[in-house]
Amino acid sequence: MKFSTNEPPYRFRQGSSPLLVSMPHAGTHVPPGLAARLTPEARHVPDTDWHLERLYDFADAMGASILVATHSRYVIDLNRPPDGASLYPGQSVTGLCPIDTFDDTPIYANPSDHPDSAEVAERREAIWHPYHAKLASELTRIKAQHGIAMLWDAHSIRSVLPRFFEGKLTDLNLGTSKGASCDPALADRLLAIAKEAPGYTSVLNGRFTGGYITRHHGRPQEGQHAVQLEMTQCSYMQETLPFAYMPEVAAQVQPHLERMLQAVLDHARGPTR
């Protein structure tokens, strides 16, 4: 089937600091023609990284550039390789253009409605490539201006998802592609901040080590550092419909997120860079 969309592939605000915050799974838009093919459950796009712009609303004042996806990951997953290769071989994952939800239920009402290779290519051209082109060009601009570029890839996920992990997920999951995407000293500092956050569990390169964006754009040897944070949604929102933001709960975790972003900026501006 042909794919078309009238929605821009991203929202972007340029900042003044060496930091870019990317939110590739925050989008909720599904073009009407595609939405008509989805199940009633999938039309709620439950696997969205909900409310991240609101959660990270302090980042603008820190001078960060902000890049936010507009389309649902059910349209195309911006944190997957363009060829659809698995990020975690041997583990259950969702694809570049997913056909199942995190709960392992069908996204499409009829299997005949699954996107074919031509439609996947159209979605990739319309959404995936523009997002990644903007991400790359902004990192290039930041590095040219500041001599270093820092990328924070912001994510969130339901805290209990048997398909992907056992039990309740750690709250703050820092990923640096197993140490390859940023300076180890920065990763250690971020983990220390996360561990100092009372009431939250944390880990570095645990179940989530960073997706395609972190792995592809993190090149510390070239002065370009990338970190992914996958955090539990129960830390700031309601994990079931209507997926409501909980300001009082979010306010408890926001200072720790701000401390981590400040540590990223301090690293970029510090004498050890």
Domain that holds residue 129: 10-269
Residue 114 forms part of a structural domain: yes
Q: Are 220 and 148 in contact (CB under 8 A)?
A: no
Q: What is the pLDDT of residues 12-38, one digit of tens each?
A: 999 999 999 999 999 999 999 999 999
For every residue of 145-169, DSSP letters joined together read HHS-EEEEEEEEE-S--TTT-SSSP
Residue 2 forms part of a structural domain: no
Residue 149 forms part of a structural domain: yes
The conformational region for residue 173 under phi > 0 = left, psi -120 to 50 = alpha, else beta, is: beta
* Amino acid (one-letter) located at 130: P
Residue 1 forms part of a structural domain: no
**Alpha helices (H) along the chain:** 32-35, 52-55, 117-123, 129-146, 184-195, 212-217, 247-269
CATH number of the domain at 223, please: 3.40.630.40
Tally of domains in the chain:
1
Q: What is the pLDDT of residues 54-64, one digit of tens each?
A: 999 999 999 99
Residue 228 forms part of a structural domain: yes
Cα–Cα distance, 131 to 86 (Å, whole number): 20
Q: Is the pLDDT of residue 273 over 50?
A: no
pTM for this predicted structure: 0.95
Greater pLDDT, 86 or 186: 186
Mean pLDDT across the chain? 95
Residue 5 forms part of a structural domain: no
What pLDDT was estimated at residue 272?
47
Residue 4 forms part of a structural domain: no
Positive or negative, the Cα torsion across 90, 82, 59, 238?
negative
